[in-house]
């Protein structure tokens, strides 16, 4: 036997480990692409649900169970609901895509999707057309019209809203007290924002006066939109074919970020931080103000916080306004869709509608500081008293905008956050950074 062979194989193995490719792992993990045979209506069936991690968290209120699951299984003997392990946002996206590609064996009947993925999933044929279900659904009028309309893609319904969330500015009251500021009153204008930031910088050393996410991920743009919208700017034009964020309003909004960094009120470290990092800093008193977070932050409670401590530590309000601007916030949220390949679409629809029922969702929405998308849910005002800043969230909901649900949204936002980073680091002026990004987005969206 050639003695060189083992040595050569060893070298190849060592070198091979240097190139462990994400791309090559996907096919290696592939199973069969086969789809289970269609289950007849009378046969036992399993409705598999792929949800986000925090909606199936043990020990916290879940919208899926026990109520809806028990009621559904009782109404459909022999049918069980399988709540698969919940995962984070990126993993949820990838497992849905991989399932569609046939690269993983199991497929969901129902899956939870971020509203920004809807356009892409419809384009890829992942989501079932729900027009026939909507046509016979008594509760469809219960969905707030702005939300019901937003699930229509190319003239058809492809999802049902699950819950929504709204962006608010939050601040740490203890930091405000130390800075000699009124802890119950956050800044309402950009001038006040800079004044408060100056006070914190002067009197509370070691604390970042203002933070916002600016790393290479989605929350960077999501938390920026409210400031973009308030200037009258928008992300794309009316028919979603061209960038609009590089107009004067967009430049003004981005200049706010640049000025906060330039004047030392926001550390450059935000370039490596996500929104989760920022909110953790506000809770811990490491940061004074976060320009925009999901809801009032109640859904991100760290260990050791209860609602009372939350209310005494954290303040929340609509994002502060620039001179001549109009109040604005951003709405995001999650929807439920039925897999186009599901053999049990009727059963899936039954369970999906039980889960998204307005009253069923309220306890979860209160617990996680989410906004109801149903009129019946919004009517449960007493329940939401547990959320100390629900009134502010309701106010923000009135002036909230949705990001565009376009197929190339995830590619577009990478271009946008890169442009934002170029301005924040000082590599380019806000105008040049946004113009450059707009050119790329226009190329991306060109037919």
- The footprint of another protein (CB under 8 A) covers 1, 6-9, 11-28, 30, 33, 90, 94, 97-98, 100-103, 124, 126, 206, 208, 215-217, 267-272, 286, 410-411, 414-415, 418, 421-422, 425, 427, 440
Give me the least distance between CB of 122 and another protein, in Å please: 12
Q: Which is nearer to another protein, 30 or 375 (CB)?
A: 30
Closest CB 161 distance from another protein, rounded Å: 23
Q: For 251, how many CA atoms within 13 A lie in the half-sphere containing its CB?
A: 13
- Nearest distance, CB of residue 49 and another protein, angstroms: 20
Beta carbon of residue 430, minimum distance to another protein (angstroms, whole number): 15
Q: Cβ closer to another protein: 321 or 415?
A: 415
Min. distance of Cβ 436 from another protein in angstroms?
9
Q: 347 or 438, CB closer to another protein?
A: 438
Cβ nearer to another protein, comparing 215 with 311:
215
For the chain, give the secondary structure using H, E and C.
CCCHHHHHHHHHHHHHHCCCCHHHHHHHCCCCCCCCCCCCCCCCEEEEEECEHHHCCCCCCCCCCCHHHHHHHHHCCCEEEEECCCECHHHHHHHHHHHHHCCCCCCCCEEEEEHHHHHHHHHCCCECCCHHHHHCCHHHHHECHHHHHHCEECCEECCEEEEEEEEEEEEEHHHHHHCCCCCCCCCCEHHHHHHHHHHHHHHCCCCEEEECCCCCCHHHHHCCHHHHHHCCCCCECCCCCCECCCCHHHHHHHHHHHHHHHCCCCCHHHHHCCHHHHHHHHHHCCEEEEEEEEECCHHHCCCCCCHHHHHHHEEEECCCECCCCCCCEEEEEEEEEEECCCCCHHHHHHHHHHHCCHHHHHHHHHHCCCECCEHHHHCCCCHHHHCCCHHHHHHHHHCEECCCCCCCHHHHHHHHHHHHHHHHHCCCCHHHHHHHHHHHHHHHHCC
Q: How far apart are the C-alpha atoms of 108 and 284, rounded to whole Å? A: 38
Shorter beta-carbon distance to another protein: residue 49 or 104:
104
Smallest gap from Cβ 306 to another protein, in A, equals 26
Q: Name the minimum Å distance from CB 371 to another protein.
A: 28
Q: Can you say how many angstroms the Cα of residue 217 is from the centroid of all Cα atoms in its chain? A: 11
Least distance (Å) between residue 15 CB and another protein: 4
> Would you say 34 or 40 has its CB closer to another protein?
34
Q: Which is nearer to another protein, 32 or 136 (CB)?
A: 32
Distance of CA 236 to the CA centre of its chain: 19
User: 103 vs 394, which CB is nearer to another protein?
Assistant: 103
Of 359 and 408, nearer to another protein (C-beta) is: 408
Nearest to 360, CA basis, from 48, 70, 53, 11: 70
Cβ-contact 212, 288 below 8 angstroms: no
Q: What minimum distance in Å lies between the beta carbon of 52 and another protein? A: 18
CB nearer to another protein: pick between 92 and 329:
92
- Length of the chain (residues): 447
CB of 201: closest distance to another protein in angstroms?
13
């Amino acid at each position: 036997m050639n003695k060189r062979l083992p040595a050569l194989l060893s070298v190849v193995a060592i070198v091979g480990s240097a190139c462990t490719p994400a791309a090559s792992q996907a096919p290696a993990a592939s199973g069969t692409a086969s789809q289970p045979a269609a289950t007849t209506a009378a046969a036992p069936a399993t409705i598999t649900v792929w949800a986000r991690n925090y909606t199936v968290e043990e020990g916290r209120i879940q919208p899926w169970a026990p109520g809806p699951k028990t009621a559904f299984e009782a109404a459909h003997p022999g049918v069980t609901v399988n709540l698969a392990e919940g995962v984070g946002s990126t993993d949820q996206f990838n497992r849905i895509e991989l399932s569609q590609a046939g690269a993983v064996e199991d497929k969901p009947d129902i899956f939870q999707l971020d509203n920004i993925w809807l356009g892409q999933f419809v384009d890829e044929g992942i989501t079932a057309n729900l027009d026939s279900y909507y046509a016979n659904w008594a509760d469809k009028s219960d969905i707030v019209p702005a939300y019901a309309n937003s699930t229509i893609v190319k003239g058809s319904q492809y999802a049902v809203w699950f819950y929504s969330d709204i962006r608010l500015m939050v601040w740490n009251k203890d930091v405000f007290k130390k800075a000699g500021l009124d802890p119950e009153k956050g800044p309402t204008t950009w001038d006040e924002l800079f004044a408060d930031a100056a006070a914190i910088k002067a009197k509370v050393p070691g604390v970042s006066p203002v933070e916002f996410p600016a790393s290479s991920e989605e929350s960077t743009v999501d938390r920026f939109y409210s400031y973009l919208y308030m200037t009258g700017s928008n992300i794309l034009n009316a028919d979603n074919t061209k960038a609009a964020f590089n107009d004067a309003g967009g430049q003004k909004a981005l200049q706010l970020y640049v000025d906060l960094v330039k004047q030392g009120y926001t550390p450059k470290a935000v370039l490596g931080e996500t929104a989760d990092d920022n909110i953790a800093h506000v809770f811990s008193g490491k940061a004074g103000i976060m320009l925009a977070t999901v809801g009032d932050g109640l859904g991100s409670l760290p260990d050791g916080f209860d609602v009372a401590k939350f209310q005494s530590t954290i303040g929340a309000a609509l994002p502060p306004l620039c001179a001549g601007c109009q109040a604005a916030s951003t709405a995001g949220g999650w929807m439920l869709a039925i897999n186009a390949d599901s053999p049990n679409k009727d059963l899936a629809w039954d369970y999906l509608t039980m889960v998204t029922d307005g009253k069923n969702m309220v306890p979860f929405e209160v617990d996680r500081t989410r906004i109801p998308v149903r009129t019946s849910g919004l009517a449960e005002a007493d329940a939401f008293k547990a959320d100390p800043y629900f009134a502010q969230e309701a106010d923000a909901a009135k002036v909230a905008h949705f990001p565009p649900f376009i197929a190339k949204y995830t590619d577009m936002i990478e271009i946008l956050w890169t442009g934002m980073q170029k301005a924040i680091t000082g590599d380019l002026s806000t105008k040049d950074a946004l113009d450059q990004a707009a050119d790329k987005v226009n190329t991306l969206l060109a037919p």
